[in-house]
């Protein structure tokens, strides 16, 4: 493995992944050996191995089952299914079975919300879980049948494309967009991207022409293109579908970006949950090399550009571009201090443009059809179309491509939503709209979205959605800065306290304070956006919180008297003085 990666320390994440695949887990002596052979400090290897949730430095069983735990999975009954599997295998969630055979736990959204409930079995996605499948899975595990021999239909992932527009219906042949870009030349191409007013589709909406020009103009020994396919926002799966159904358009877009900025190397950072796509994508890249559509002298036009796929290892924060670059360099995915920005100091300190999968595919379309054509679609401030991943309480979950400016109500109607009470428009990190707001438009200037549209009908308890989001962020905070590390944990505990009926209005005020503190003081976008949906739900669905308030005065989050029981056991005391409540009454009486 080390030889294949040329003993390069910046390939550490891939080295660890492949080593774990081969050995089952990352034992201390394995980490020592890797550090020694790469000639880097052991602590560097250990901190990277520790950071990613798909790496394990303790044995976790021959079978590792991770249930996707997005709110949409919960709405589809994932908790009961997990409980059933644990009972059949005689184990507790989060623990390894006593015989070391299997562990069952949860993981953040696996990007299968249109066909959940879903899980990862040894990191391979299984969708459309049913009680019957869980029964059979337990049986297969007990018989020690390798995951690769489980029923193939379990691993089938549907694209579920429900509405096509200019991108999903482009009708172009592989390489056609790339040829058009080469004809235009780098300056002409950048002019078209500028005229199109294309903005990044990952959510931030940064102008693509500005990003590409800044990167092209930056000095460096080499320039790089990174395709950010680490879509981890709960409820988002549009990049999965683009990669699966139209990979050539994404590759054309990457080559075009490379041509515009003067790069000859690109990376696709594929989220670990989409590992099932890896072989297929690698094969297609090899076919394109054979066909002269990738690699040296592309289309015989003297342009060289090649692509490598890097598989993530289960860290939502790596969707943030500087964290993603850290991960590509073999380090824990912690966001960098900016400036400098990646366009001048990115991968290995060189100028790097990081673009979303959808943005790159759209750039390919613009290379053929031109900027003016693209600008005529959508709204003046949000040109073109947007891919929406629609899930939750709808009759037809899946991918919908709409021109920007479409109303939320139109999206709901297309997806067959009825009796809707709320829609989250940017996963766990964006706003939550109530019925009175369904006339609002999907656009950067009104309702911006990275593509996650989760729908909740009147039967849903919006408190549970907010609680799921709070736990998601507590799990995914990288821990680098205190406001986010502590704030996300406090919010998750406050939501649990509400769920236990131990809260007072003081706790809701505390969440409000936490929101302001985290927004102002967090180091990166995760901390800055971690409370948006939570706060929105609290403001718009207040009764769901109010009915859980236990007392108008402060209430502790746990039963202190019960917590003292261990001390009573150890000291052998059980008199009135050893009980908190009795002490309180005694003092009150005194």
Region from 106-114, 116-124, 412-420, 524-532 binding ligand SF4, contact rule CB under 6 A: 524-532
Cβ-proximal residue to ligand SF4, closest one: 527
Using the minimum distance from each CB to ligand SF4, give the nearer residue, 107 or 196: 107
For residue 457, the cross-strand partners are 420
Using the minimum distance from each CB to ligand SF4, give the nearer residue, 160 or 519: 519
Using the minimum distance from each CB to ligand SF4, give the nearer residue, 13 or 318: 318
Which residue among 85, 481, 492, 537 contacts ligand SF4 (CB under 6 A)?
481
| Alpha carbon distances (Å) from 551 to 274, 490, 499, 507 | 46, 20, 14, 11
Q: Is 514 in the site for ligand SF4 (CB under 6 A)?
A: no
Contact 13, 330 (CB under 8 A): yes
Residue 552: how many CB atoms within 10 A of its CB?
A: 9
Q: Which of 272, 273, 239, 244 is nearest to 118 (CA)?
A: 273
HEC assignment per residue over 413-432: HHHCCCCEEEEECECECCCE
Report in angstroms how near the CB of residue 326 gets to ligand SF4 at its nearest. 11
Compose the 19-48 pattern: x for residues touching ligand SF4 by CB under 6 A, - for all others. ------------------------------
Number of chain residues interacting with ligand SF4 (CB under 6 A): 14
Using the minimum distance from each CB to ligand SF4, give the nearer residue, 397 or 527: 527
Using the minimum distance from each CB to ligand SF4, give the nearer residue, 441 or 475: 475
Cα gap 347→70, rounded to integer Å: 31
Q: Which of 494, 476, 493 is nearest to 485 (CA)?
A: 476
Q: Which of 175, 410, 138, 198 is nearest to 293 (CA)?
A: 175
Q: Which of 112, 309, 348 is nearest to 228 (CA)?
A: 309
Compose the 387-426 pattern: x for residues touching ligand SF4 by CB under 6 A, - for all others. ----------------------------------------
| Alpha carbon distances (Å) from 405 to 127, 167, 386, 448 | 32, 16, 10, 10
Q: Beta strand 119-121 with 124-126: parallel, antiparallel or unpaired?
A: antiparallel
**Maximum C-alpha span of the chain:** 95
Report in angstroms how near the CB of residue 373 gets to ligand SF4 at its nearest. 39
Report in angstroms how near the CB of residue 411 gets to ligand SF4 at its nearest. 30
Cβ-proximal residues to 99 (8 Å cutoff; 6+ apart), any chain: none
Considering only residues 231 to 290 of the shown chain, the ones binding ligand SF4 according to CB under 6 A are none
Q: Is 526 in the site for ligand SF4 (CB under 6 A)?
A: yes
Angle at which helix 505-521 crosses helix 532-540, to 10 degrees, equals 150
Which residue among 133, 163, 460, 523 contacts ligand SF4 (CB under 6 A)?
523
Region from 73-81, 97-105, 357-365, 517-525 binding ligand SF4, contact rule CB under 6 A: 517-525
- Give Cα 37 distance to the centre of its chain: 32
Contact 158, 115 (CB under 8 A): yes
Using the minimum distance from each CB to ligand SF4, give the nearer residue, 196 or 477: 477
- Give Cα 25 distance to the centre of its chain: 24
Which residue among 292, 479, 505, 557 contacts ligand SF4 (CB under 6 A)?
479
Using the minimum distance from each CB to ligand SF4, give the nearer residue, 448 or 527: 527
Q: Which of 466, 461, 460 is nearest to 427 (CA)?
A: 466
Contact 483, 530 (CB under 8 A): no
Which residue among 522, 534, 535, 537 contacts ligand SF4 (CB under 6 A)?
522
Report in angstroms how near the CB of residue 488 gets to ligand SF4 at its nearest. 7
Q: Is 470 in the site for ligand SF4 (CB under 6 A)?
A: no
Which residue among 237, 469, 480, 541 contacts ligand SF4 (CB under 6 A)?
480
Which residue among 311, 313, 432, 478 contacts ligand SF4 (CB under 6 A)?
478
Region from 73-81, 161-169, 452-460, 519-527 binding ligand SF4, contact rule CB under 6 A: 519-527
Q: Which of 299, 278, 305 is nearest to 174 (CA)?
A: 299
Q: Is 475 in the site for ligand SF4 (CB under 6 A)?
A: no
In sequence order, what E strands does 232-282 have?
Answer: 265-270
Contact 208, 215 (CB under 8 A): no
Q: Residue 547, exposed/middle/buried by CB under 10 A (0-12, 13-18, 19+)?
A: exposed
Q: Which of 407, 472, 413 is nearest to 433 (CA)?
A: 407
Report in angstroms how near the CB of residue 444 gets to ligand SF4 at its nearest. 23
Considering only residues 307 to 326 of the shown chain, the ones binding ligand SF4 according to CB under 6 A are 317
Using the minimum distance from each CB to ligand SF4, give the nearer residue, 394 or 524: 524
Which residue among 335, 398, 403, 448 contacts ligand SF4 (CB under 6 A)?
335
Using the minimum distance from each CB to ligand SF4, give the nearer residue, 84 or 521: 521
Report in angstroms how near the CB of residue 530 gets to ligand SF4 at its nearest. 7
Which residue among 485, 493, 550, 579 contacts ligand SF4 (CB under 6 A)?
485
Using the minimum distance from each CB to ligand SF4, give the nearer residue, 172 or 315: 315
Report in angstroms how near the CB of residue 518 gets to ligand SF4 at its nearest. 8
Judged by the rule CB under 6 A, the positions of this chain that interact with ligand SF4 are: 317, 335, 477-481, 484-485, 522-524, 526-527
């Amino acid at each position: 493995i080390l030889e294949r990666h040329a003993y390069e320390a910046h390939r550490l994440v891939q080295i660890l992944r492949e080593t774990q695949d081969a050995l089952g887990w990352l034992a201390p002596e394995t980490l020592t050996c890797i550090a020694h052979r790469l000639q880097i400090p052991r602590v560097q290897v250990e901190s990277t191995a520790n950071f990613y949730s798909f790496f394990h430095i303790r044995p976790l069983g021959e079978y590792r089952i991770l249930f996707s735990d997005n709110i949409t999975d919960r709405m589809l009954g994932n908790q009961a299914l997990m409980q059933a599997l644990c009972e059949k295998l005689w184990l507790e969630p989060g623990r390894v079975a006593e015989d070391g055979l299997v562990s069952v736990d949860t993981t953040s959204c696996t990007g299968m919300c249109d066909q959940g409930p879903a899980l990862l079995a040894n990191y391979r996605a299984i969708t459309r879980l049913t009680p019957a499948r869980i029964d059979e899975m337990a049986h297969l595990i007990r018989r020690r049948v390798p995951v690769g021999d489980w029923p193939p239909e379990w691993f089938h992932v549907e694209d579920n494309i429900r509405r096509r527009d200019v991108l999903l219906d482009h009708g172009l042949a592989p390489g056609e967009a790339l040829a058009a870009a080469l004809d235009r030349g780098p300056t002409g191409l950048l002019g078209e991207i500028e005229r199109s007013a294309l903005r990044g589709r990952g959510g931030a909406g940064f102008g693509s022409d500005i990003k590409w020009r800044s990167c092209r103009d930056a000095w460096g020994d080499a320039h790089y293109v990174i395709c950010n396919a680490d879509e981890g926002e709960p409820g988002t799966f549009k990049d999965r579908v683009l990669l699966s159904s139209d990979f050539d358009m994404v590759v054309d877009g990457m080559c075009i970006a490379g041509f515009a900025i003067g790069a000859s190397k690109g990376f696709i950072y594929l989220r670990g949950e989409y590992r099932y796509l890896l072989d297929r994508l690698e094969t297609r890249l090899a076919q394109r090399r054979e066909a002269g559509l990738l690699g040296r002298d592309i289309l015989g036009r003297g342009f060289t550009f090649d692509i490598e796929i890097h598989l993530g290892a289960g860290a939502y924060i790596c969707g943030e571009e500087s964290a993603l670059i850290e991960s590509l360099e073999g380090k824990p995915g912690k966001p960098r201090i900016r400036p400098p920005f990646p366009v001048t100091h990115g991968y290995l300190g060189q100028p790097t443009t990081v673009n979303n999968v959808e943005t790159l595919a759209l750039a390919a379309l613009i290379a053929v059809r031109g900027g003016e054509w693209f600008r005529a679609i959508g709204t003046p401030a949000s040109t073109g179309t947007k891919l929406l991943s629609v899930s939750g309480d709808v009759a037809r979950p899946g991918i919908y491509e709409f021109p920007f400016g479409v109303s939320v109500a139109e999206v709901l109607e297309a997806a067959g939503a009825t009796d809707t009470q709320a829609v989250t428009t940017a996963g766990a990190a964006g706003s939550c709209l109530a019925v009175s707001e369904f006339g609002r438009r999907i656009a950067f200037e009104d309702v911006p979205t990275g593509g996650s549209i989760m729908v909740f009908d009147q039967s849903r308890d919006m408190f549970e959605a907010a609680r799921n989001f709070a736990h998601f962020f507590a799990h995914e905070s990288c821990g680098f800065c205190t406001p986010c590390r502590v704030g996300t944990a406090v919010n998750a505990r406050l939501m649990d306290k509400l769920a236990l009926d131990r809260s007072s209005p003081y706790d809701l005020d505390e969440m409000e304070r936490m929101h302001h503190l985290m927004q102002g003081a967090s180091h990166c976008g995760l901390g800055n956006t971690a409370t948006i949906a939570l706060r929105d739900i609290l403001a718009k669905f207040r009764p769901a919180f109010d009915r859980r308030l236990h007392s108008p005065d402060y209430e502790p989050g746990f039963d202190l008297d019960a917590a003292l029981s261990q001390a009573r056991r150890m000291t052998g005391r059980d008199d009135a003085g050893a009980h908190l409540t009795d002490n309180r009454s005694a003092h009150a009486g005194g």
